[in-house]
Chains A and B, each alone.
Chain A
C-alpha cells in the first residue's frame, strides 16, 4: 500500500492504495465519483477522461500512486455556483448525448481543447475529441455543441474556479 494525497475537484483527499490500482478505479470505487466511466481495456475510448494538472488524460492509463500530489478535475467538479458549465449546457441544448456514457469524458476533452484553442475549426474539434469514442450520436451533435460554445465565446476554464473553491 502506498499513501497518496491529491486535490480532487478542489477537495483534498488522502488514501492508501495498492500500487496497481488504476486511477479510474480510485476515482470511481474509492472516492465514489462515478462520473468518469470505463469503456475499454486498451486506452482507446476516453470514457475515463479527467483533467490531471489541467490537461485531459485517460485515468484508466495511470496508476493512482502516480497521481500523488496532483490536481484532478472530474466531470463532477465542472459546474460551479449551481450553474451548468457552458459546455454542459451546450451538450444539452444540441442533443449531444444519448446514453450519456461517453459524455463526461467528452466534456473533459472539450475543456482541454477550448482551453488551448478557443476558436477551433470543425476539423480541429473532431481531432480534439478523437480520443473519445461515442457509439450513440455519430458525433454530429457533439461537434455542433462544442462549436457553439466556441463561437459564442462563452467558454471559461473550470480549472480556475475549482482552485478558488
Chain B
C-alpha cells in the first residue's frame, strides 16, 4: 500500500524535534521505529501533514542504571533491550517482555518509546510498565514532565502527551531486593501478533515467601493497560499457594471492572474477559515461583 503525501523533517536534536513538532502542531507525528505509524500510514488510516523523524536522536537512546532507577531512552529498540542480558538480574521483566514483541524485524526497528506512545493496550510494554510502576519522562516547549504510568493513558491511542511533546525516557524503580520474580504472559493467536490478553507481573518476597511487593499489569483487555489492583491486594503479605492462585482470576477480572473492554475479530470482549483469568493465575504462579527460588538461591549464598 501507498501512504498519502506528507512533509518530512528530520530532527537534529531533541530541542530541534520539539521545535518542529510545535511548528506543525496542528497535524504532526513524530516517527520513531515506524512499526506502528508506517503500517497505519500505508493503509491511509493515519495521514499527518508532517512527519518529524526523531530516529537519529542519540540522546534518546540507550539504557542507563541510575541510583534509584533504571533509565531507558525512548528510542531504545526492543532488540537493544533484549540483547542487554545484564538486565536479567534486576529487571527480568524487561527481557521477558521484549522477547514477546512481534518478530525480529519488528524488534530491530520498534522502540520502547514508540510502543508506549502508541497507547495500544494490545502491545506488550504498557502492561509491563504498569507492573513495574514506571515513570515516563516527556519534554515539550513547556519543559520536562514526569508522568506516572497509571495516569499516562486516558483512552485507546490517547496519552497525556501533547502533540508537541516527546516521550524521552522511561524510569523504572529498582526493586527493593534482588530477588524479584517476573513473568510476562501473553496470549496471541499467532506468533508475533498483537496480544489478545497480557498479564505482566513483578513480585518480591521475604524470607518466609510472603509477598512484600506486587506489581501487576493487565493488557489487551481494557482499552488501556490496567493495574491489577485487586490482584495486588490479594497477594500482598501472602504466600502464594493454590488457594490464593485460585482467587487470582476473579481478582484480575475485578480489577477490570469499569474499564471499556476491547472486542474485535480476533477476540470478542467476553472471551478476553474470560481468559484473562487463566493468564493471570499462570503469570502470578510463574512470577512467584521465580521470586521464591531466587530468594532461596540468594540466602544460600
A–B proximity contact (CB within 8 A):
yes
Contacts of A52 in B (CB 8 A): 108
Contact B35 A61 (CB under 8 A): yes
Contact B42 A49 (CB under 8 A): no
Contact A130 B53 (CB under 8 A): no
Task: Give the dominant DSSP class at A's interface.
Answer: mixed
Contact partner, B35, options A43, A55, A65, A109, Cβ 8 Å: A43
Contact B109 A42 (CB under 8 A): no
Confirm or deny: B191 has a beta carbon within 8 angstroms of a beta carbon on chain A: yes
CB distance from B79 to the nearest CB of A (A): 7
Confirm or deny: B162 has a beta carbon within 8 angstroms of a beta carbon on chain A: no
Confirm or deny: A62 has a beta carbon within 8 angstroms of a beta carbon on chain B: yes
Interface size on B, residues (CB 8 A): 31
Contacting chain A: which of B99-107, B141-149, B248-256, B290-298? B99-107
Contact B2 A20 (CB under 8 A): yes
Contact B34 A130 (CB under 8 A): no
Q: Produce 1/0 per residue, A100-123, CB < 8 A to B.
A: 000000000100110010000000
Confirm or deny: A41 has a beta carbon within 8 angstroms of a beta carbon on chain B: yes
Contacts known (A2-B8, A41-B42); A130 close to B3, Cβ less than 8 A? no
Contacts of A109 in B (CB 8 A): 104-105
Contact B102 A131 (CB under 8 A): yes
Q: Produce 1/0 per residue, A28-72, CB < 8 A to B.
A: 000000000000011100100100100111101111011010000
Contact B104 A112 (CB under 8 A): yes
CB distance from A5 to the nearest CB of B (A): 14
A-contacting residues, B29-57, CB 8 Å? 31, 34-35, 38-39, 41-43, 51, 53, 55
- Subset of 20 A-B contacts with CB under 8 Å: A2-B8, A19-B7, A19-B8, A20-B5, A20-B41, A22-B2, A22-B38, A41-B43, A42-B39, A56-B104, A56-B108, A58-B105, A58-B106, A66-B34, A66-B53, A116-B83, A131-B103, A131-B104, A131-B105, A131-B192
